[in-house]
Chains A and B, each alone.
Chain A
Amino acid sequence: MELQTKDLYNPSMADIVAVEELTETEKRFEIQLPGDTALKHKPGQFVEVSIFGFGEAPISICSSPTKRSTTFDLTIRKTGRLTDKIHLLTAGSKVGIRGPFGNGFNASDFEGKDILFIAGGIGLAPLKSMIDYTIDKRDDFKRIIIVYGTKKPSEILFPSEIKKWQERDDVEFYMTVDHADADWKGNVGVITTLIPPLKLDEENTVAAVVGPPVMYKFTAMALKAKRLPDKNIFMSLERRMKCGVGKCGHCQINNSYVCQDGPVYNYLRVKELEEAI
């Protein structure tokens, strides 16, 4: 058996170099691999983050490889024992990192096109890696339209980046909250209410959609109503990736291993996968 086998399950012990509190439940961690090694990721890929004794979880990378070569960012929501523990960590602590895993977004699918980013809730984190990428390579893309919805104003991620996007005249930014508070002056309503008013050149627009599971069907319907062809829609799907390397079986949607074939799927493929959305 002359096979090149790898130590698939050994994490690299990486340094947390900065922590930023984004919301009550989300923090951004800037991570540096040992020996300043570059992660060499694509936008839309994920890593497995672990803390000994607490386990491992798949987390999307939220920074673009065009930004910094030796560190990358993870936005982590508190959802359980492991992520609660990660939230207690400060700069100087170490976490285990395996990856990058998954296919990520293919820049060539978007180049020369109008790009419509649709992010629901924490879906903005994985999309931000691609948003940053397209802004950093601005000339490779035509319009950049960002549509973002959260439950309430206090859950808005990346307010400083959002401010920059709003200030740029080559980025169109729209956002909404499901439930407003006293200070909120913007749109109120679910994210799909932002889609009908958009003026789109449907044949030349490519959409990238990431959000909670309930969002995909309604977003797809709204995009169909705008006559966007199925092949122009990409979705990044969340599953319980345990191993990240196509072995443990946890991430399967029908015959597709999300950690290998996904998490980014073209909508034509999503429609074939009955369990997808």
Chain B
Amino acid sequence: MHLKNPLTLQNKGYVFFDSETMKTFISFLMNQAELIAAHKKGESSYVFRAAENVDEVILDYPRTIQPLKKFFLPPRETLLNFNLEENDFDVPDMETKKRIFFGVHSYELQAIHILDYNFKRGNPESNYLKKREESLFIGISYTPDEYHFGKSVGLEIEKTEGMCLYIEPMEAGYYMFVVDDNGLKLLTEFSSETVALKTETIKPQPKEFQKKIKYHYNRLPQVFDKVYDSSVWKKVSEKCVGCGTCNLLCPTCYCFDVRDEIELDTINGKRERFWDGCMLNTFAEAAGGENFRDKLHNRTRHRLFRKFKYITEHSGELSCVGCGRCTSFCPANISIIDIINNLIEEVSLNS
């Protein structure tokens, strides 16, 4: 199988912002819409949240704990409000809110693109798609740490698809690349005059990924055709505690559970959905109590097959975007790169 073509790194030109201009620009954006950006949480953790203060917005960060999906598929979302006395329900308002997502990495955009695919496919789901309307994304480059591997899954740092502007930090400030008309419009409104875009080639410092998958990503579907019964699954699952963190924090995992909660008044309640994960033991349990994936190594296999084969078969794209969250937040230090490279080794030995 051949995966969809890798992206083009396109832009219409750039302007230069010094640090002060960048701050004014962020304040300007905060007046335009709700501005979601990375913020510090504790010593060395980062979260996406609505910006309240320009000085708290972080531009240089490795990754946030929770991915952007939380804004479109919240960890906990009310599907229905019900009333037990009347035995009836209503649906909470799904107002679309204009939001600008500021300073997001290319893998995050690709992950949203994959979620879009899944929520549009078959039965398009309004809960998700309504929240997706009116979102603008302003991207930023990042310095890969020991967990990123975007390039190995076809996602260079400068992949600008889906962004309206793309920021490349430099010594004395920032290059602001215009990716599409929305980006140009924002810059024009900000400077309240016609923006003269520069097009001379600039060479940002090259950024290398420390982690690499041994095969080109186009070959990964073939690898996954051969590894269903691999011994790797058992080996890598030995330390796994089945906590599901790798699912919940993955920007492309979208499985959910639905539960009813009754309020203390015992009259009103909600039907809510919650993030769920195929690594959790109860995920594949049926009504009769049978658990169709009761072994950790079967669940690990399922998780990886979802990323590299099952969804790829019809979407034509990998469902792993190389953000490194599953690895950097795994309490058992299980590395997705190691799993894939072990599988590749096994396949190349046996062929």
Interface residues of A (CB under 8 A from B): 1, 3-11, 13, 50, 52-58, 79-80, 94, 212-213, 238-240, 242-243, 245-250, 252-255, 260, 274-275
Task: Give the docked Cα–Cα distance between A239 and B132 (Å).
Answer: 31
A212 CB, nearest partner CB in chain B, Å: 7
Task: Please determine whether B132 and A8 come into contact, CB atoms closer than 8 angstroms.
Answer: no
A213-B313 Cα distance, complex, nearest whole Å: 28
Q: In the complex, what's the smallest C-beta–C-beta distance from A101 to chain B, in angstroms?
A: 10
Which residues of B does A touch, CB under 8 Å? 79-80, 82-84, 87-89, 91, 118-127, 129-130, 132-133, 228, 254-260, 262, 269, 271, 273, 276, 278, 283-288, 290, 292-293, 298, 302, 305, 309-310, 313
Pairwise interchain contact B133-A1, C-beta atoms closer than 8 A: yes
**CB <8 Å contact, A239 and B286:** yes
Contacts of A11 in B (CB 8 A): 89
CB <8 Å contact, B292 and A55 = no
On whether A5 and B87 interact (CB within 8 A), knowing A240-B284, A250-B255, the answer reads no
Most B Cβ at <10 Å: residue of A3, A9, A94, A212: A9
A52 contacts B84, CB within 8 Å?
Answer: yes
Nearest 7 CB-CB pairings of A with B: A249-B255, A5-B126, A255-B310, A52-B82, A245-B123, A246-B122, A3-B124
B292 touches A253 (CB 8 A): yes
Contact B258 A240 (CB under 8 A): no
- Which residues of chain A are within 8 angstroms of B89 by Cβ–Cβ distance? 10-11, 52
User: Which one of B82, B123, B124 contacts A53 once the chains associate, using CB atoms below 8 Å?
Assistant: B82
Q: Is A248 a contact of B256 with CB atoms below 8 Å? A: yes
CB of A258 to closest CB in B, whole Å: 10
Query: Which residues from chain B contact A275 at a C-beta distance below 8 Å?
Result: 292-293, 298
- Which residues from A are CB-within-8-Å of B118? 247
Q: CB-CB < 8 A to B288: which residues of A?
A: 79, 212-213, 238
Q: Choose among A245, A249, A254 the residue that contacts B122 (Cβ–Cβ < 8 A).
A: A245
Contacts of A274 on B, CB cut-off 8 Å?
228
Closest to B257 in A: A242
Query: Is B256 within 8 A of A249, CB to CB?
Result: yes
B271 proximity list for chain A (CB < 8 A): 9, 50, 52, 55-56
A52 to B255, Cβ gap below 8 A? no
Rounded to whole angstroms, the CA-CA distance of A240 and B255 in the bound complex is 13
- Are B123 and A248 in touch, CB under 8 angstroms? no
Measured CA separation A174–B228 after assembly (Å): 40
**A238, B80: Cα distance in complex, Å:** 27
User: Is A247 in contact with B119, judged by CB distance below 8 angstroms?
Assistant: yes
Shortest Cβ distance from A239 into B: residue: B286
Closest residue of chain B to A54, judged by CB? B260
A residues in contact with B119, CB < 8 Å: 247
Measured CB to CB, the closest approach of chain B to A268, in angstroms, equals 18
Q: Are B124 and A4 in contact (CB under 8 A)?
A: yes
In the complex, chain B residues whose CB is within 8 Å of the CB of A239 = 284, 286, 292
Q: Are A243 and B258 in contact (CB under 8 A)?
A: yes
Contact of B284 among A55, A58, A247, A250 (CB under 8 A): A250
Structural contact, A254 and B292, CB atoms closer than 8 A: no
Question: Do A52 and B269 touch (CB < 8 A)?
Answer: yes
For A3, give its contact among B120, B262, B269, B305 (CB under 8 Å).
B120
Cross-chain contact B80 with A9 (CB below 8 angstroms): yes
B260-A53 in contact (CB<8A): yes
Can you list 27 pairs linking A and B with CB atoms under 8 Å apart?
A: A1-B133, A8-B125, A8-B126, A8-B127, A9-B127, A9-B258, A50-B260, A52-B269, A55-B259, A56-B271, A79-B288, A239-B284, A239-B292, A240-B286, A240-B287, A242-B256, A242-B257, A242-B258, A243-B256, A247-B256, A250-B257, A250-B276, A250-B283, A250-B284, A252-B302, A253-B292, A254-B310
